[in-house]
């Protein structure tokens, strides 16, 4: 069995990392790693591929076997053709990005037919393998009128294939090492090197990003900013992060400086910021400017120490509408500071949020781990609306979110306050002080591990009849494992997880693979289980729906396998691949499992 090369992807196969495995485990066969581009998510590695098993044909009489068989295409080629033929009428599937940098820029692996990428072929093979197929809920195949199990994995392009990138992290280098007057080159590292390749006309960047880059280049020329030179470990400006506020088109700029402290960046930082503001005469480019100090020698763009973030200019948050928020209301906003995770294609991710909220039954108790600023959970809360009179039928009974980054909790609380609901209940004092103090507090909070914004109790204020029926919303700052083992998912019907590329933390996966313990009493608090020995407690005992949003297909395939093969009772309801970063060899996958 070999993986065929197609004309489109031929030139890129050498940069892929193919892993093969059988039912009994994994075996790496080929590993040609490319340097990860500085953009982070959205290109770089491919997934594991499971060998499809030959199925016995059915419904034939014996004489059929004597007839000459039609020439069959190899399986993978067949599937690629199926994918293309089924979607050939959909314009996004065949449209071209047409980027002038394609070929030299490492950011994209295709310039057209953006779903025809190896990672999607891998995902199709994985979900059509027998070991996965036997765990698909049979009624779902019928309901969806699927003629073939191979149609089970659906592929969607959730938005435009150009200008979708509303966040970019780019490297800098001196445009000319002999003269500071040449300013900075800003772009991606060329393949297998640390040479910075400028991409001023990138077609997947939001236009505001290209405009902002141009302005930074001009400013660095004018004020002769010392740009960091890796080979001699000298200079200041090292990377830039650009995040577009979609409603205004303005950019939140983070200047990453090779320095330990803010004062080491002066006076160059002040000169640069002043010039950037001067160039933006009409005040239409900059939303805010931050400085991040990172003097480490590694490739990480950001230092994890929160003390190294310094707001320089403008408001502390950019605001975006919560996907699914009522179109005519001003309320329902998400808040992002540059210190928190933000989807690079925010508009495309709204489609994922839609699938997630529609997979949650009304009246559910929902736990969300790796929640970020709560995009998925809050979108579900708005979608399901107010609880019904009996506490059932509509709304969500409660929403418990958690994430290890304390800055997310601050953004989450702001978002809850912006929702079209009246908030009552307690919020801890630490979240009521002024901005500067909050930032210091959050740093200390990180050490405490488990911190809850207890009970933000929401109720819709437009209907007075049901004021006793409330949805409680909490946010816990903790790693997913600590949150789970402190009882966050006890009593939850639905668990949403959206982990980083490497997948779920091992203790979380372990709990999800445990069989349901029928003798474990129903409870929503860990204290009530104190009589049970630890090894008998199933911390996800009540979860019946698991919604797994994945940005790393390798990890998803591996963990999905473990979940399906465990005795936990999981069955696959749906699997959808979203081409969230058109041009790159990346798929964002949503898998819904029920038990
Ligand atoms: C892919 S993002 C998903 C965020 C969110 N769903 C969104 O769309 O904005 C992953 C999140 O997991 C968090 N995270 C990473 N490792 C974690 C861990 N071990 N425990 C808890 N959260 C973690 C990160 O801070 C980040 O916010």
| Domain range list for the chain | 10-56+72-156, 167-313
CA of 369 to the centre of ligand 1 (A): 7
Best residue for ligand 1 mutational test, from 243, 336, 337, 499 (most atoms within 8 Å of Cβ): 499
What digits encode the pLDDT tens for the residues 156-169?
999 999 999 999 99
Do residues 276 and 283 make contact, with C-beta atoms less than 8 angstroms apart? no
* Cβ(498) – ligand 1 distance below 6 Å: yes
What is the phi-psi region of residue 529: left when phi exceeds 0, alpha when psi lies from -120 to 50, beta otherwise? alpha
* Cβ(43) – ligand 1 distance below 6 Å: no
CA of 405 to the centre of ligand 1 (A): 8
Q: For the chain, which ranges sit under pLDDT 50?
A: 1-77, 80-81, 84-85, 88, 391, 422-449, 454-455, 457-467
Q: What is the pLDDT of residue 407?
A: 93
CA of 374 to the centre of ligand 1 (A): 10
Integer angstrom CA distances of residue 7 from 79, 113, 114, 557:
15, 12, 14, 26
CA of 403 to the centre of ligand 1 (A): 6
Helix, strand, coil content of the chain in percent (nearest 5) = 30, 25, 45
Q: What is the pLDDT of residue 586?
A: 97
Q: What is the pLDDT of residue 63?
A: 38
Q: Catalytic site residue 551?
A: yes
Among candidate residues 186, 258, 173, the one with its CA nearest the CA of residue 217: 186
Do residues 258 and 235 make contact, with C-beta atoms less than 8 angstroms apart? yes
Handedness of CA 373, 377, 382, 386 (dihedral sign): negative
* Cβ(341) – ligand 1 distance below 6 Å: yes
* Cβ(375) – ligand 1 distance below 6 Å: yes
Q: Is the pTM of this model over 0.90?
A: no
* Cβ(505) – ligand 1 distance below 6 Å: yes
Do residues 39 and 581 make contact, with C-beta atoms less than 8 angstroms apart? no
What is the H or E stretch that residue 186 is in?
Answer: strand 184-189
Handedness of CA 411, 290, 275, 208 (dihedral sign): negative
* Cβ(40) – ligand 1 distance below 6 Å: no
* Cβ(350) – ligand 1 distance below 6 Å: no
Q: What is the pLDDT of residue 382?
A: 84
Q: Which atom number of ligand 1 is nearest to the Cα of residue 408?
A: 27
CA of 408 to the centre of ligand 1 (A): 9
CA of 368 to the centre of ligand 1 (A): 10
The matching CATH number, chosen from 3.30.260.10, 1.20.1260.10, 2.40.50.1070, 1.10.1050.10, for 167-313 is: 2.40.50.1070
Q: By three-state DSSP, how is residue 176 classified? A: coil
Q: What is the pLDDT of residue 470?
A: 64
Q: Which residues sit in the known binding site for S-adenosyl-L-methionine?
A: 343, 370, 403, 498
Do residues 334 and 318 make contact, with C-beta atoms less than 8 angstroms apart? no
Best residue for ligand 1 mutational test, from 306, 372, 379, 488 (most atoms within 8 Å of Cβ): 372
Q: Which atom number of ligand 1 is nearest to the Cα of residue 478?
A: 21
Among the options 265, 367, 551, 560, which is catalytic? 551
Q: What is the pLDDT of residue 326?
A: 66
ipTM of the complex: 0.99
Do residues 489 and 468 make contact, with C-beta atoms less than 8 angstroms apart? no
Q: What is the pLDDT of residue 145?
A: 57
* Cβ(404) – ligand 1 distance below 6 Å: yes
- No. of helices (H) and no. of strands (E), the chain: 14, 22
Q: What is the pLDDT of residue 555?
A: 98
Where does 428-501 have alpha helices with state H? Answer: 435-448, 480-485
Q: What is the pLDDT of residue 510?
A: 97
Best residue for ligand 1 mutational test, from 166, 353, 370, 408 (most atoms within 8 Å of Cβ): 370
Residue whose Cα lies nearest atom 11 of ligand 1: it is 370
Q: What is the pLDDT of residue 303?
A: 86
Polymer length in residues for the chain: 595
Q: Which residues sit in the known binding site?
A: 343, 370, 403, 498
CA of 60 to the centre of ligand 1 (A): 51
| Whole-number Å distance between alpha carbons of 453 and 482 | 16
Q: Which atom number of ligand 1 is nearest to the Cα of residue 368?
A: 6
Integer angstrom CA distances of residue 228 from 8, 29, 291, 472, 576:
37, 38, 15, 49, 42
Q: What is the pLDDT of residue 101?
A: 96
* Cβ(551) – ligand 1 distance below 6 Å: yes
């Amino acid at each position: 069995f070999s993986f065929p090369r197609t004309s489109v992807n031929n030139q890129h196969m050498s940069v892929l990392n193919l892993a093969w495995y059988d039912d009994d485990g994994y075996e790496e066969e080929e590993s040609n790693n490319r340097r990860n581009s500085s953009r982070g998510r959205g290109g770089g590695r491919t997934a594991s591929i499971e060998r499809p098993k030959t199925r016995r044909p059915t419904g034939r009489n014996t004489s059929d076997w004597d007839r000459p068989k039609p020439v069959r295409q190899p399986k993978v080629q067949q599937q690629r053709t199926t994918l293309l033929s089924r979607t050939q009428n959909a314009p996004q599937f065949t449209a071209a990005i047409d980027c002038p940098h394609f070929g030299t820029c490492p950011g994209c692996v295709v310039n057209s037919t953006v779903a025809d990428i190896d990672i999607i072929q891998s995902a199709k093979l994985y979900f059509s393998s027998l070991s996965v197929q036997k765990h698909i809920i049979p009624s779902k195949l019928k309901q969806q009128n699927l003629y073939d199990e191979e149609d089970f994995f659906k592929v969607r392009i959730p938005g435009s294939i150009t200008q979708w990138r509303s966040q970019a992290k780019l490297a800098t280098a001196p445009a000319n090492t002999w003269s500071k007057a040449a300013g900075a080159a800003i772009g991606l590292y060329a393949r297998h090197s640390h040479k910075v390749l400028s991409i001023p006309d990138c077609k997947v960047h939001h236009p505001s990003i290209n405009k902002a880059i141009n302005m930074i280049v001009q400013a660095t020329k004018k004020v002769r900013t010392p740009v960091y030179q890796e080979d001699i470990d000298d200079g200041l400006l090292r990377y830039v992060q650009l995040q577009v506020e979609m409603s205004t088109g303005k950019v939140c700029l983070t200047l990453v400086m090779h320095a330990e402290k803010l004062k080491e960046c002066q006076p160059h930082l002040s000169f640069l910021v002043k010039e950037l503001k001067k160039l933006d005469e009409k005040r239409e480019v900059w939303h805010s400017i931050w400085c991040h100090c990172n003097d480490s020698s590694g490739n990480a763009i950001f230092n994890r120490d929160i003390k190294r973030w310094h707001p320089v200019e403008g408001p502390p948050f950019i605001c975006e509408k919560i996907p699914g928020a009522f179109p005519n209301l001003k309320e329902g906003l998400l808040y992002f500071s540059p210190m928190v995770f933000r989807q690079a294609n925010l508009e495309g991710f709204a489609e994922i949020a839609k699938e997630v909220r529609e997979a949650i039954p009304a009246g559910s108790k929902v736990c969300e781990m790796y929640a970020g600023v709560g995009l998925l959970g809050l979108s579900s809360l708005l979608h399901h609306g107010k609880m019904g009179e009996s506490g059932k039928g509509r709304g969500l009974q409660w929403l418990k979110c958690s994430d290890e980054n304390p800055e997310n909790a601050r953004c989450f609380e702001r978002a809850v306050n912006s929702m079209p609901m009246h908030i009552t209940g307690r919020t801890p004092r630490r979240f009521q002080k002024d901005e500067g103090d909050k930032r210091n507090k959050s740093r200390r909070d990180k050490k405490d591990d488990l911190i809850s914004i207890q009970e933000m109790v929401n109720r819709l204020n437009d209907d007075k009849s049901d004021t006793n029926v409330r949805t409680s919303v909490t946010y816990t700052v903790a790693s997913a494992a600590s949150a789970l083992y402190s009882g966050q998912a006890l009593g939850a019907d639905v668990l949403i997880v959206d982990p980083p590329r490497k997948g779920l933390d091992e203790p979380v996966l372990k709990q999800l693979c445990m069989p349901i313990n029928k003798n474990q009493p129903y409870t929503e608090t860990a204290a009530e289980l104190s009589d049970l020995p630890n090894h008998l407690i199933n911390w996800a005992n009540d979860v019946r729906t698991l919604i797994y949003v994945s940005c790393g297909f390798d990890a998803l395939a591996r963990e999905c396998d473990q979940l399906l093969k465990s005795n936990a009772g999981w069955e696959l309801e749906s699997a959808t691949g979203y081409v969230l970063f058109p041009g790159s060899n990346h798929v964002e996958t949503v898998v819904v499992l029920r038990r």
